[in-house]
Chain A
Amino acid sequence: EDQVTQSPEALRLQEGESSSLNCSYTVSGLRGLFWYRQDPGKGPEFLFTLYSAGEEKEKERLKATLTKKESFLHITAPKPEDSATYLCAVQAASGTYKYIFGTGTRLKVLA
């Protein structure tokens, strides 16, 4: 069964304290792995797409990496405005329009 697991469920960081969020997946052939950011009361907002193991993408303080079994979202020197829920989603080769979402990591960055 295709599955996505994110850890930790919640994370509190001091401003400037770097850390990583994990997204582990099991799918029958990976088409792509997505990271989204979701602010309270809003819909998810796209951050990155990764397609193959070894691929990396960066945007400001965020860097996403991909292996054959998991993806990491590295947050370097976070600021309070980085506080949000980060969602991971995968699409399996078997499901054209099926995106499998994880439950997310709630990140709180304290000033």
Chain B
Amino acid sequence: NAGVTQTPKFQVLKTGQSMTLQCAQDMNHNSMYWYRQDPGMGLRLIYYSASEGTTDKGEVPNGYNVSRLNKREFSLRLESAAPSQTSVYFCASSGGLTGVFEKLFFGSGTQLSVL
């Protein structure tokens, strides 16, 4: 009964370093999302994948790349981390039949600090 699993839970990077945040869901959902959450701001969409094999930019995609590895897994990569990317990152999934609005299931988050 895992739901959405994110790793790592915490990460500290130096400016310019790269890293990949991993996300997996076991609910057979079609759609997956990456959000960032910053104090005083709502959750903002970085990238999403409507279905296996597709990815699209969200509201704040600059500095990030994603890979939908298979139906279960959706990773987020920071190629050259910047202090502005210090944030809490959430992966989410939904049943996501095309055009159908569904509730989101969230992972527990990754707290990332870029020094």
Query: How many interface contacts (CB-CB < 8 Å) are there between A and B?
Result: 56
State the interface size on chain A (CB cutoff 8 A).
24
The contact string, 1 if C-beta is below 8 Å from chain A, for chain B 39-70, is: 01111110010100000101100000000000
Q: How far is the CA of A31 from the CA of B101 in the complex (A)?
A: 7
Cβ–Cβ contact B4 & A43, under 8 A: yes
Contact indicator B45/A99 (Cβ below 8 Å):
yes
Chain A's closest residue to B39 (CB) is A103
Please report which residues of chain A, range 2-59, place their CB below 8 angstroms from some CB of chain B when the two chains form the complex. 4, 31-32, 34, 36, 41-46, 49
Asked if A101 is at the interface of the complex by the 8 Å CB criterion, the answer is yes
| CB <8 Å contact, B101 and A45 | no
Q: What number of B residues sit within 8 Å (CB to CB) of A? A: 27
Q: Are A43 and B108 in contact (CB under 8 A)?
A: yes
Q: Are B42 and A44 in contact (CB under 8 A)?
A: no
Which residues of chain A have a CB within 8 Å of any CB of chain B?
A: 4, 31-32, 34, 36, 41-46, 49, 87, 89, 91, 96-104
Interface of A is mostly: strand
Query: Binary interface profile of B, 84-97, with partner A (CB < 8 Å = 1, else 0)?
Result: 00000010100010
* Nearest A-chain residue to B4, judged by Cβ: A43
Q: Are B48 and A45 in contact (CB under 8 A)?
A: no
A97 and B104 contact, Cβ closer than 8 Å, known pairs A87-B43, A103-B40, A103-B41: no
